[in-house]
Structure 1
Amino acid sequence: MNIAYCFSAYIDPKHLRNLISTLHKDAEFFVHIDLKRDISEFVAEIHQSNVHFITDRYDIFWGEFSQCQYQLALIHSCLGLEKKFDYIFMLSGLDYPLWSNKRITKFLEENNGKQFIQAICLDGKEKSATHLYEMYRPFYDFPIKYRWLRTKLRIAGKRILNFFHAKRKKLYFYVKDKKWSVYKGAEWFAITPDLAKYILDTYETNPEIYEYFKSSFAPPETLFHTIAFNSHFADKCIFTRSKGTILAEITPLHFIDYSAGILVMQEKDFDRLIESGKMFCRKMRTGISDNLKYRIDKYREEQDML
């Protein structure tokens, strides 16, 4: 089972090193470092030949299209490598595996061909659940040099549009005259290279996709999902019927506690992490999660002995 792990990282190089060293030794690792960060801090920590720091780097704004740009760049890098993969994981640099590598491999082999990307359809849901996704986020691609000024313009534009109840985004759009509903899920998933290539090719050959998502709220939670669920791969993906849009319910592989933004896990969280049955957890930090990491490592070793 050949696996590619893709990471987005911006802090904690030591944890990223530990995360990579914990996963499959024969995997390939593709890493995007936020352009605001000094990449040398990460390169100094990680010296493996199977770790690829991608050169296309983006200045990441949370909830904006720049997050999609790094995802697409990571997929480009994966598919550009001569090695052929069975699965491509999209992960955070602050994740940590709860399953042993042996268990991950066994699960993928038993479910080979399935797409571990999960979503709900936003089109047709109640306004209370979709209002953020109907709001335009202007000035994403406005050519302004200074980050602070662009941020102020973006926030001001969004507030003005919202105050006057101006035009709202529809939760569908058209690609080559075919209606596409918008789907939402977590930005962390595992898909086959066939679906990854399909997403990349479809995005690059249909400019209307970029035009829709560039002004959307949290497009990394919708872009990949919308392409996948409007394709012939949909029946291999995980569709969820839900009245709301709660991310915890549509995150297929991760345990994430959204109660305080995103909670940094500590040793006291060990039992509920294991009981969740999830493959990964997020998020972990050096100096805060060290004892938890030790207990998870022991648990993973025990799994391998079963």
Structure 2
Amino acid sequence: MKIAHLILAHNNPSQLESLVKRLIYKDDAVYIHLDKKTDFSQFARLASLPNVIFVKKRVKVTWGACNIVTATINGFKEIIASGVAYDYLNLLSGADYPLQPPAAFHQYLSAHQGKAFMSYAKMHSEWQEALPRVEQYHLNNFKFPGRYVAQKLVNRVMPKRNVPSGLVPVGRSQWFTIPVACVRHIVSYWQKNNRLRRFTTFTWAPDEFIFQTILYNSTHCKILVNNNLRYMDWPAGAASPKMLSMADHEHIINSEHFFARKFDFEKSPDLLNLLNQRLEQSANLN
């Protein structure tokens, strides 16, 4: 079993270093896409760690915009181009942290070989609050004065949009663990479908549905498991999960997930210490 971890990061170099060191295991590799807006020099020391690779084709990432999909695809492409026979790809952010040691994660994936772990819900029936993301035009990928006024005008006169090729839109959380065969399918489909790429340019937060949608509408749908193996606390109506703190510690450790998000350990250093102690104890038991 070989895992390629792909981390999308933009800040907190010391926290990212802690995450990377907890992921390094046997022949696994850690690929890091560092936001192009971020000064690389603060993170350069990580390149000296074993099996740590920075994605060369960096992208300036904006929250809710399509460029995060581009950044993720660039990471996928580099992992595929490496020629290494990875079994799984594990997509993380720099605000994630493991709850179980790598050996336990390997054992779980080996016991469920070939399954794809990602959260997904059908927009038209289970995640209807997300429908405006695909049915309306969004100009968040463009920077010009008055773009939000223009967006309102466009949506007032234009008909409701539909996902190209009759794809059923599904999604929820962008973070997942999937076989590399699924990664290859995503990259191939994305490259071959100009209409989908253009459509996605005018959506909001496509990273939370585009990958699930591509796989759900393919032969890979039969291996999807509606569980992304991550603990998150989503407040009602919130656009993103809450930042976890010491107050959430019991919920986190009792979750039985392999990862959790979101963390800011500069604000919660005691939580980092507790998680590391638990990881060390779990590793010693194996």
Question: Partners of 1:151 and 1:107 in 2: how far apart?
Answer: 48
Give aligned pairs, total: 281
Aligned partners of 1:253 and 1:279 also within 8 Å: yes
1:255 counterpart letter in structure 2: Y
Deviation string, structure 1 residues 20-75 (Cα, Å, up to 9, x no partner): 10113232111111111111111135521411111211111111110100010010
Question: Partners of 1:276 and 1:165 in 2: how far apart?
Answer: 47
Question: Partners of 1:126 and 1:50 in 2: how far apart?
Answer: 38
Deviation string, structure 1 residues 215-267 (Cα, Å, up to 9, x no partner): 1121101111111001100010135xxxxxxxxxxx62222223375432222
Instruction: Indicate yes or no: 2:222 matched with 1:229.
Output: no
Question: Partners of 1:128 and 1:115 in 2: how far apart?
Answer: 25
Aligned partners of 2:88 and 2:178 also within 8 Å: yes
Deviation string, structure 1 residues 196-226 (Cα, Å, up to 9, x no partner): 0011011111212102211112110111111
Aligned partners of 2:64 and 2:140 also within 8 Å: no
Question: Partners of 1:120 and 1:106 in 2: how far apart?
Answer: 27
- Counting only pairs closer than 5 Å after superposition, residues 183-194 of structure 1 correspond to structure 2 as 183-194=170-181
1:169 counterpart letter in structure 2: R
**Residue 33 of structure 2: SS of its match in structure 1?**
strand
**Residue 31 of structure 1: SS of its match in structure 2?**
strand
Question: Partners of 1:207 and 1:153 in 2: how far apart?
Answer: 28
Question: Partners of 1:81 and 1:159 in 2: how far apart?
Answer: 44
Instruction: Indicate yes or no: 2:197 matched with 1:218.
Output: no
**Residue 219 of structure 2: SS of its match in structure 1?**
coil
Q: CA deviation at 1:151?
A: 5.4
The aligned counterpart of 2:54 is 53
- Counting only pairs closer than 5 Å after superposition, residues 194-209 of structure 1 correspond to structure 2 as 194-209=181-196
Structure 1 unmatched ranges of 5 or more: 143-149, 240-250
CA distance 1:75–1:165, change in 2 (3 Å): same
CA distance 1:232–1:160, change in 2 (3 Å): same
The aligned counterpart of 1:159 is 152
The aligned counterpart of 1:146 is none
CA distance 1:72–1:262, change in 2 (3 Å): same
Aligned partners of 1:17 and 1:46 also within 8 Å: no
2:24 counterpart letter in structure 1: H
TM-score (norm 2): 0.90
The aligned counterpart of 1:246 is none
The aligned counterpart of 2:269 is 290
**Residue 85 of structure 1: SS of its match in structure 2?**
coil
Deviates more, 1:67-76 or 1:15-24: 15-24
Question: Partners of 1:183 and 1:169 in 2: how far apart?
Answer: 15
- Counting only pairs closer than 5 Å after superposition, residues 104-183 of structure 1 correspond to structure 2 as 104-123=105-124, 128=129, 130-138=131-139, 140=141, 150=143, 152-162=145-155, 164=156, 166-170=158-162, 172-174=163-165, 179-183=166-170
Q: CA deviation at 1:186?
A: 1.1
Say what the alpha-carbon RMSD is for the aligned residues.
Answer: 2.1
Aligned partners of 2:121 and 2:127 also within 8 Å: no
The aligned counterpart of 1:147 is none
Question: Partners of 1:92 and 1:29 in 2: how far apart?
Answer: 12
1:168 counterpart letter in structure 2: K
Question: Partners of 2:215 and 2:261 in 1: how far apart?
Answer: 24
Aligned partners of 1:117 and 1:252 also within 8 Å: yes
- Percent identity, please: 23
Aligned partners of 2:139 and 2:202 also within 8 Å: yes
Aligned partners of 2:87 and 2:180 also within 8 Å: yes
Aligned partners of 1:138 and 1:158 also within 8 Å: yes
Aligned partners of 1:188 and 1:253 also within 8 Å: no
Q: Which runs of 4+ in 1 moved over 6 A?
A: none
- Counting only pairs closer than 5 Å after superposition, residues 237-248 of structure 1 correspond to structure 2 as 237-239=224-226
Question: Partners of 1:128 and 1:262 in 2: how far apart?
Answer: 16
CA distance 1:100–1:288, change in 2 (3 Å): same
Instruction: Indicate yes or no: 2:263 matched with 1:272.
Output: no
**Residue 116 of structure 2: SS of its match in structure 1?**
coil
1:253 counterpart letter in structure 2: L
Q: CA deviation at 1:166?
A: 3.7
